[in-house]
Amino acid sequence: MKLIIAIVQDEDSSRLLNGLMNKGFGVTKLATTGGFLRAGNTTLLIGVEDEKVQDAIGAIESVCKSRKQLTTANTSATGVSGGGYVPFPVEVTIGGATLFVLNVEQFLKV
């Protein structure tokens, strides 16, 4: 058995959850925050039999789209008197999805 940890954008999470549930996968949804953007995203825990891993990844790929987002990065302002930090906009491409596939040693419901 494997545990897929899928970090997805909030905009895709509802459709993905429905798609995975309709295919019979067990899913837990967590509200999470990305370390770089400090913006909300969604992490799904999906426990799957080994032979279903590709099916689950396919479902994720079909729903999760990459998007560009402008964010404000802080950089050292060497030309500014007194130093300090000046924010400037940076475009980042987020997603589709960031996936970790882990081996599960034991799966118990007690």
Among 3, 53, 98, 101, binds ligand 2BA (CB under 6 A): 98
Measured CA to CA, the distance from residue 77 to residue 79 in angstroms comes to 6
Measured CA to CA, the distance from residue 72 to residue 38 in angstroms comes to 11
What is the identity of the amino acid at 96? G
Measured CA to CA, the distance from residue 17 to residue 29 in angstroms comes to 8
Measured CA to CA, the distance from residue 101 to residue 89 in angstroms comes to 33
Among 21, 30, 31, 37, binds ligand 2BA (CB under 6 A): 37
Nearest distance from C-beta of residue 53 to ligand 2BA, angstroms:
19
Nearest distance from C-beta of residue 68 to ligand 2BA, angstroms:
9
* Interaction between residue 41 and ligand 2BA (CB under 6 A): yes
Q: Which residue is nearest to ligand 2BA (CB)?
A: 34
